[in-house]
Structure 1
Amino acid sequence: MKSFSAWLQECPVIAILRGVRPDEVVEIGDALYDAGFRIIEVPLNSPDPMDSIAALSKHFGDRALIGAGTVIDPGCIKRVAMSGGHLIVAPNANPDVVHKAKILDMAAVPGVFTPTEAFAMIAAGADALKLFPAEAANPIVLKSLRAVLPPRLPILPVGGVHPEDFAAWQSAGAAGFGLGSAIYKPGFTARKVAKRARRVIAALGEIQRNFSTISVEEARPTLS
């Protein structure tokens, strides 16, 4: 299985399907995949989350990274692995969750909000950090964290992030994002998810073009 960073390079957004049902999850997963998403998270406070994880894992195989979110009990991580999941995302900084995930060769992305929590999760073996809730922080906070954390460690703002916020967060050092209600809410059809997912991918393409243009302009010599 590819590293978490490698999956982020394919598409730097995690689709968070909180509340999704097993009978609809594959169709919604297809809508996300067709739009360009490659990482899908099913929070464990969704209806029958293990069934949804199993369905997505069987359907996508190694074409996408599938896993569980809102993982606060390390005791359930083995069930996620047995369902075919390879990703564990937590809302909090619990080293036991990270340790268990790594023992089972899964990617671990714990939630942090302070430097103390961030360094504790790095020491536990986290593959990336989830800045949560991002709506209670801002890009300035991320920039300060980014100044002291390992430069290659991905940090993903999650919670209240929208496509129009991408550029500011990326400038501050975000390696990706986690999006929930901006993409999916219970009751959304696959068609509606597809439309929102395409909008997200378009927003990503726009900031990448802007950053490329800025880099070229900065590299050009000034004529005297």
Structure 2
Amino acid sequence: MFQQALKSNGLIAILRGLRPEEAPAIGDVLYEAGLRVIEVPLNSPSPYDSIGLLRLHLPADCVVGAGTVLQPEQVRRVKEAGGQLIVMPHSGREVLRAAKAEGLFLSPGVATPTEAFAALGEGADVLKLFPAEQMAPAVIKAWLAVLPAGTVLLPVGGISPDNMQPWLDAGAQGFGLGSGLFKPGMSAADVAVRAQAYVTAWQHCTANRSH
């Protein structure tokens, strides 16, 4: 299901700072724009409430999960709230194993090939290339030459509608979108405009992918 959501649209919304009362309206505009994966970082206000509201509110083909998951006990709370996806800034083995034990989709953060191989060995579904600002598209191309066939790499950090094409040409299959898409206090209308800009760029870039 997670892979299917990414295939329909490889953009993941990272809603750091989202408040529960904003969640349904923000979720609506993201879904309407075409995004099918939404992540609420756990360092947001009442994140489990927001995850629960999004899961209740959005159609079943939208995957809802948590980001900045740092502790195994947080994995259980995410699942209890209705979350389906665990996103991490790191590749902590205890969190990886807790997520797999709970049957949740898993996207750990990796910054080296060593971390990438270790995360895949623990059952990661996709790899979050983080922070992408300190890397270059050539990194993805080099990694994909040695990682198992079918490995999905998603750059996160500093992604804008203007800089997606080189990453996609190098083999990226999606992106995590943070403050370029949503910042605390933004209206649903503002988020809708930004989401549409990203989706339009995504559609243009994937149509022009060089391989």
TM-score normalized by structure 2? Answer: 0.97
> SS where residue 185 of structure 2 aligns?
coil
C-alpha deviation, 1:69, in angstroms: 0.1
Q: Is the 8 A contact 1:16 1:41 kept in 2?
A: yes
Aligned to 1:7: 5
5 Å matches for 1:136-215? 136-211=134-209
5 Å matches for 1:90-129? 90-129=88-127
Aligned to 2:21: 23
Structure label with greater radius of gyration: 1
Q: Is the 8 A contact 2:88 2:108 kept in 1?
A: yes
- Quote the Cα distance in structure 2 between the aligned partners of 1:11 and 1:100: 27
- Detail structure 1 runs of 4+ shifted over 3 Å in the superposition: none
Alpha carbon RMSD of aligned pairs, Å? 1.0
Aligned to 1:57: 55
- Quote the Cα distance in structure 2 between the aligned partners of 1:175 and 1:74: 28
Match of 2:131 among 130, 133, 144: 133
Q: How many positions carry a matched residue from both structures?
A: 211
Alpha-carbon displacement from aligned partner over 1:120-170 (angstroms, at most 9, x marks no partner)? 001101001000000011101111111111121111000111111111000
Q: Is the 8 A contact 1:5 1:154 kept in 2?
A: no
Which ranges in structure 1 are unaligned for 5 or more consecutive residues? 216-224
C-alpha deviation, 1:103, in angstroms: 1.0
- Quote the Cα distance in structure 2 between the aligned partners of 1:177 and 1:209: 16
- Flag the 1:142–1:176 CA change in 2: closer, same or farther, 3 A: same
TM-score normalized by structure 1? Answer: 0.92
Of 133-142 and 93-102, deviating more is 93-102
Which ranges in structure 2 are unaligned for 5 or more consecutive residues? none
C-alpha deviation, 1:75, in angstroms: 1.1
- Give percent identity, aligned residues only: 49
- Quote the Cα distance in structure 2 between the aligned partners of 1:49 and 1:167: 32
C-alpha deviation, 1:207, in angstroms: 1.0
Of 143-152 and 193-202, deviating more is 143-152
> SS where residue 175 of structure 1 aligns?
coil
Q: Is the 8 A contact 1:14 1:37 kept in 2?
A: yes
- Quote the Cα distance in structure 1 between the aligned partners of 2:111 and 2:101: 25
- Quote the Cα distance in structure 2 between the aligned partners of 1:102 and 1:153: 17
> SS where residue 145 of structure 2 aligns?
helix
Aligned to 1:76: 74
C-alpha deviation, 1:61, in angstroms: 4.6
> SS where residue 164 of structure 1 aligns?
coil
